Amino acid sequence: MPGDSEKQCLYCRAMSRQSETHCTQCGMPLPDSLHTGQTRRQQYFWLSFTAISLFCLIMVFWLPR
């Protein structure tokens, strides 16, 4: 499909090439790079969530009652 090689800007609706990370029209990040940032943030969230849960578990068993 020819549309597959292009993606639309969320802000100004201009079409940019798939290889572009930022809109050529307005300079805002394009959907794909936004998604990557979201995924990275989600990974960081789960990493810190697991770390905090582990810390709480260790504290429950380690601290004297």
* Backbone dihedral region for residue 27 (phi beyond 0: left; psi -120 to 50: alpha; all else: beta): left
Q: Identify which of residues 25 and 50 has a Cβ nearer to Zn ion in the complex.
A: 25
Q: Identify which of residues 11 and 44 has a Cβ nearer to Zn ion in the complex.
A: 11
Q: Which residues pair with 29 in a beta bridge?
A: 22
Name the site residues for Zn ion (rule: CB under 5 A).
9, 11-12, 14, 23, 25-26
* Shortest Å distance, C-beta 16 to Zn ion: 7
Q: Identify which of residues 21 and 25 has a Cβ nearer to Zn ion in the complex.
A: 25
Q: What is the distance between the alpha carbons of residues 16 and 29, in angstroms, rounded to a whole number?
A: 11
